[in-house]
Chain A
Amino acid sequence: MIDAQLLVTGLIFGLSLGSIFFLMAVGLSLCFGLMRIISLDQLLYYSVGAYIAYSVSVTVGNLWLGLLVGMAVGGVAGLVVERVVFKRIYERDITFSMITSFGILIGGVGIIKHFWGVVPRPVAVPIDAQINIVGTVLPVYRLVVIAIALLVYFGIWLFLNKTIIGKAIRAGIEDVEHVEGLGIDVYRLFSITFIIAGALSALAGGLHAPLIMVDPQMGLEVLAFAFMIVIIGGLGSIKGTLVSSFLVGQVVSIGSLIYAPLAQMAPFAIMILILLFKPTGLYGSPLLKR
């Protein structure tokens, strides 16, 4: 049996992992909800965010600055990709956006290899302090990661519920044509969503960087987890994404305490189970075909 200390550590590790998964998957989920596209390039912004956090923290010595720069770059990259590529394919079938964004992801991995090389790079943890909670020693950085993710969740919630642009985005998730009929420029909404999604993915990468090694394939490695999270939560639902990322984070973390190889497989089993009972995921609405 697992002892209590290990369990608490596992829980916190799972929560911090889930937080990063949430930041990463929320972009995918938002883009799908509003634009009905599957934007795999979010995982590119994730790796770009991690690499910029690495570069800045090596040159300046401050990871938090790296996070901000990474978010800015991620947002701009998202905007550019949206303007150049996605704008031309909004009308097309959903598989179309999937293949195209996969092309961007693969091409982006090539660009990263060109600039930073293929060698994995370590990133220093910005907060070395450890905290003692009920007899368990926990790294503060992981707690900070969880706090940031929760802040972002409430930020998104406030944005979507209290600002007029957020309300328009929410309405767009329900029915884009009606929003367009009200005289709102939906393409501007799309661009804003893409900037937010790109910035959040980059933030996820930057936060994840000190916990793992940064390498060009990192986006592809988390790809399956991002997929499983949005499927379990339901494409297009922010709340579903939050719940399912914490679920998957816990399953990976606790699962690896019990039997390590199981940890990678268990989320898949959960996904299959949920899809059997609810083919649209936990909080997903039945798809309106556009």
Chain B
Amino acid sequence: MNILRWWWSLVLAFALVALVRVFLPLPFANEIMIFSIYTIGCNFLLGRVGFISFGQPAYLAIGAYAAAFYFYYFGTNPYVGILVGIAAGIVMSLAVGPMFVRLRSDYFALVNLALAVIIFFLMQKVLADITHGDNGLWFLTNLSPTPVLDLTRPDRFFIFAFLVGFVVWAFYKYLDDSIYGACCLGAKINDDKLRFLGYNNYHVRLLAFVIANTTTALAGAMYAVYLGFVSPEITSPARAADPVVVTILGGVGSLYGPLVGAIAYTGMKDVLSKVLGNWELIIGFLLVLIMLAGEKGIWGTLEPLLKKAFDRILPIGKLSESEGSNR
């Protein structure tokens, strides 16, 4: 029963995502899965560690390009490509992390955004010989079918993305409940007290930075496999706000915020860009409105209401309450 207590909200959330797949077209569902994995790193950094990162596209691009280089120049196995993307994410965040996490949160945000722009120029111009500049790398035909879950087929890819998402969410839920998660929150709320307790807040932050950005690189590698091409567009400065917007939209620091945010954002983008062709206007002012309303976001507003409703309808709702008090 204890095991179920821990898992039930995860299972419920992903059952709802599976429902999305039933009712909505496949590309939309795939986009949501990848996008929410992309966002959860940013959500973790912002909500749990207090780092606002406008530079997530940099790590996304690192993952995507690492996978793309593998497919274009070396191999054909999609799974290996994704692993290469993850490895590149770890290497990159270990390379810049020690320098970045020392900075104050405002400088951190600025430096990170600058990094995204630099990666953009790097991929677009400096390394144009191997990245083919703005044309991007096309390697859809290089991917070889794999025996169990064939990632070259979009419907199988969704199952894979779904499983990866589940694992990622379970991992982040575990982090939230662990002492390490509490340390992260401590680093966000009161740095000095965390040091008083004997924790090294530099290490806490560095680990959080590496975890979050590796998740983002994973999303990048998944984009590469799913789309079959990578261009510098994925790290363009104009898209730097995407993960932050989705994080805020969903609810900062909440576990399921990125899922809700990704669904809402992708949905809005799809619908609005068809109707208006000018969705920046909507996204921008929506962001301002949410911030002024108290930065709780969609999930942050819904969560207490849902808990209340659950308490009334189902006895299982009591579980969520006890879980809340354990935290």
Contacts and interface: CB of A to CB of B under 8 A. Distances in A.
Interface of A: 32, 38, 85, 88-89, 94-96, 98-100, 102-111, 113-114, 217, 220-221, 223-224, 227-228, 230-231, 235, 260-262, 264-265, 268, 271-272, 275-276, 279, 287
A99 B244 contact: yes
Contacts of B23: none
A238 to B, nearest CB: 18
B288 A275 contact: no
B106 A94 contact: yes
Contacts of B111: 231, 271-272, 275
A109 B103 CA distance: 30
Contacts of A268: 114-115, 117-118
B278 A114 contact: yes
Interface in B259-316: 278-288, 291-292, 295
B99 A224 contact: no
A230 B237 CA distance: 18
A110 B279 contact: yes
B237 A223 contact: yes
A287 B104 contact: yes
Given A95-B109, A113-B278, A224-B114, A265 B288 contact: no
Most A CB contacts (10 A, CB to CB) among B105, B248, B279, B291 go to: B291
Given A109-B280, A224-B117, A99 B237 contact: no
Nearest to B51: A95
B248 A99 contact: yes
A96 B291 contact: yes
Interface stretch (B60-68, B83-91, B119-127, B319-327): B119-127
Contact of B52 (A98, A224, A262): A98
A100 B287 CA distance: 7
Contacts of A265: 118, 121-122, 126
B102 interface: yes
B237 A224 contact: yes
B32 to A, nearest CB: 21
B52 A275 contact: no
B130 interface: no
A100 B292 contact: yes
Given A261-B121, A287-B104, 16 more contacts: A89-B291, A94-B106, A103-B285, A103-B287, A110-B279, A110-B281, A110-B282, A114-B281, A220-B238, A223-B237, A231-B107, A235-B107, A261-B128, A265-B121, A268-B117, A271-B111
Contact of B291 (A32, A103, A279): A103
A270 B189 CA distance: 32
Interface string B61-87: 000000000000000000000000000
The 7 closest A-B pairs by CB, nearest first: A107-B284, A110-B281, A103-B287, A106-B284, A224-B117, A110-B280, A261-B125
Given A98-B52, A264-B118, A107 B281 contact: yes
Nearest to B239: A220
17 contacts: A32-B106, A88-B292, A94-B105, A95-B105, A102-B244, A106-B283, A106-B284, A107-B280, A107-B287, A110-B279, A221-B237, A223-B237, A265-B118, A268-B114, A268-B115, A272-B99, A275-B103
Given A100-B287, A265-B121, A95 B103 contact: no
B54 A102 contact: yes
Contacts of B287: 99-100, 102-103, 106-107
Contacts of B281: 107, 110-111, 113-114
A168 B283 CA distance: 37
B295 A96 contact: yes
A109 B287 CA distance: 14
B195 to A, nearest CB: 16
Contacts of A275: 99, 103, 107, 111
B46 interface: yes
A70 B307 CA distance: 51
B227 interface: no
A262 B282 CA distance: 36
B237 A110 contact: no
Nearest to B112: A227
A223 B113 contact: yes
Contacts of A230: 110
A21 B104 CA distance: 24
Given A235-B106, A275-B111, A99 B284 contact: no
A275 B109 CA distance: 13
A99 B279 contact: no
B20 interface: no
B168 to A, nearest CB: 24
A228 B126 CA distance: 20
Contacts of A223: 113, 117, 237
B46 A95 contact: yes
Given A102-B287, A108-B284, A85 B52 contact: no
A265 B54 CA distance: 18
Contacts of A105: 284
B241 interface: yes
Nearest to A227: B110
B107 A261 contact: no
Given A98-B109, A264-B121, A265-B122, A228 B288 contact: no
Nearest to A95: B52
B112 to A, nearest CB: 10
Contacts of B104: 279, 287
A103 B284 contact: yes
Contacts of B52: 95, 98-99
Interface string B169-212: 00000000000000000000000000000000000000000000
Nearest to B126: A261
